[in-house]
Amino acid sequence: MPILIDFHALKDILGPPMYEMEVSQRLSQPGVAIGLAWTPLGGEIMFVEASRMDGEGQLTLTGQLGDVMKESAHLAISWLRSNAKKYQLTNAFGSFDLLDNTDIHLHFPAGAVTKDGPSAGVTIVTCLASLFSGRLVRSDVAMTGEITLRGLVLPVGGIKDKVLAAHRAGLKQVIIPRRNEKDLEGIPGNVRQDLSFVTASCPDEVLNAAFDGGFTVKTRPGLLNSKL
């Protein structure tokens, strides 16, 4: 007789699910973004959460972070503060100085897992931009890349493993540094077909891809052309 393997039979054979994909539930409020991390066991998706409260301009980091990750967090908040006017980001008091009378708490869940490496800069920037704009990051997008203080997105390692992790999680779009575009050639064709890729060279391109409808930038008034 043919044997029918349905959902109930699968559960009896394999046992309860080992992992729960909670991506859409985790991104149901502003201040959350999905990054991609590399581990010795392969790539993983990594949530970054942020909250703000009245305070004295303190930045708190939790989640078993290494020194490089902490530097990425400080770099991200410095870049966003310097560009707050450009993106019309204000704190609860209406100030463009995002740390004016405001404390920020950045949390990387799964605290028992040590996290380090220079690839979370764009994720932290996106997470904080979501927090201060009140807008939700797209729940089907993950990203990786480091930023500089001048606003460049730098290449990172482990692209293949990170993309495979995004694919396993059911995500639809991956943002990577433009200089990592060549690394996409090593990804299986069926995975590339299921995903769309955005290559970014600056945080503007990251934010435009991470939010529905892009991310509004306040442009300077047009200059008059001189005919002299």
pLDDT in tens, 86-100: 999 999 889 999 999
Rounded-to-integer distance, Cα 34 and Cα 26, Å: 9
Q: Tell me the per-residue pLDDT of 114-131, one tens digit each, with 9 for 90 and over.
A: 666 668 899 999 999 999
* 1 within some domain: no
The Cα–Cα gap between 137 and 68 comes to: 25
Is a pLDDT exceeding 70 seen at residue 184? Answer: yes
Q: Which residue has the higher pLDDT, 184 or 17?
A: 184
4 within domain boundaries = no
Residues 6+ positions from 193 with CB-CB distance below 8 Å:
none
Q: Do residues 90 and 132 touch, judged by C-beta distance below 8 A?
A: yes
**β-pair partners for 177:** 200
Full residue range of the structural domain in which residue 134 is found: 19-210
pLDDT (mean) for 62-87:
90
144: helix, strand or coil: coil
pLDDT digits (tens, 9 = 90+) for 78-87: 999 999 999 9
> Would you please indicate which residues are annotated as catalytic (active-site) residues?
119, 162
Residue 63 is part of a domain; what is its CATH number? 3.30.230.10
> What percent of the chain is modeled with pLDDT above 70?
86
Per the structure block, which two tokens stand in for 18?
């080992």
> How many structural domains comprise the chain?
1
What pLDDT score was predicted for residue 123?
95
Determine, yes or no, domain membership for 106.
yes
Residue 178 lies in a domain: yes
Beta strands in 108-224 (DSSP E): 141-143, 146-147, 153-154, 173-177, 196-200
For residue 224, name the pLDDT band (cuts at 50, 70, 90).
Answer: very low
The model's pLDDT over 127-166, given as tens digits with 9 standing for 90+, comes to 999 999 999 999 899 999 999 999 999 999 999 999 999 9
Chain mean pLDDT for the chain: 86
217 is a domain residue: no
Q: Write b or e for each residue in 139-150: b if 16 or more Cβ atoms lie within 10 A of its Cβ, otherwise e.
A: bbbbbbbbbeee
Q: Which of these, 9, 15, 33, 38, lies nearest to 23 by C-alpha position?
A: 33
HSE (side-chain half, CA atoms, 13 Å) at 23: 22
Task: Tell me the C-alpha to C-alpha distance, in Å, between residue 110 and each of 26, 63, 186.
Answer: 13, 7, 29
* Other beta carbons within 10 Å of 128: 25
List % helix, strand, coil for the chain (3-state, nearest 5): 35, 20, 45
Predicted confidence (pLDDT) at residue 56 exceeds the cutoff of 60: yes
pLDDT at 223 over 60: no
> What is the reported pTM?
0.84
